[in-house]
């Protein structure tokens, strides 16, 4: 189990698109379908920021914000 927990994250894990299209809008109101539709444009930046955090970098402050609609 420890070996599994120490394994580095992969781009494929970050790109998983198993979230419903209109669920979980981000802080500016963009739903998951936006990221799915424009992944070729925004994907590299998303992966870069998430990989930085997962590898020990600081979490951006607004990532923990809650959006209530």
List per-residue pLDDT tens for the chain, 69 residues long.
999 888 888 888 888 777 788 776 776 678 888 888 999 999 999 899 888 888 888 888 777 776 665
Residue 1 belongs to a domain: no
Any domain includes 51: yes
Domain that holds residue 53: 32-59
Tell whether 37 is covered by a domain. yes
Alpha-helical runs (H) found in 1-69: 2-6, 11-15, 32-37, 39-54
Query: Per the domain annotation, does 49 fall within a domain?
Result: yes
Contact 22, 33 (CB under 8 A): yes
Give how many domains the chain has, as a whole number: 1
In a domain, 68, yes or no: no
| Domain contains 44 | yes
pTM of structure = 0.69
Would you say residue 40 lies in a domain?
Answer: yes
């Amino acid at each position: 189990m420890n070996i599994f927990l120490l394994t580095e994250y992969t781009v494929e894990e970050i790109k998983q698109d198993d979230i419903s299209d209109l669920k979980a809008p981000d802080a500016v109101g963009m739903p998951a379908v936006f990221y799915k539709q424009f992944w070729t444009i925004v994907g590299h930046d998303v992966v870069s920021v998430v990989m930085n955090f997962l590898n020990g970098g600081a979490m951006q402050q607004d990532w923990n914000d809650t959006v209530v609609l």
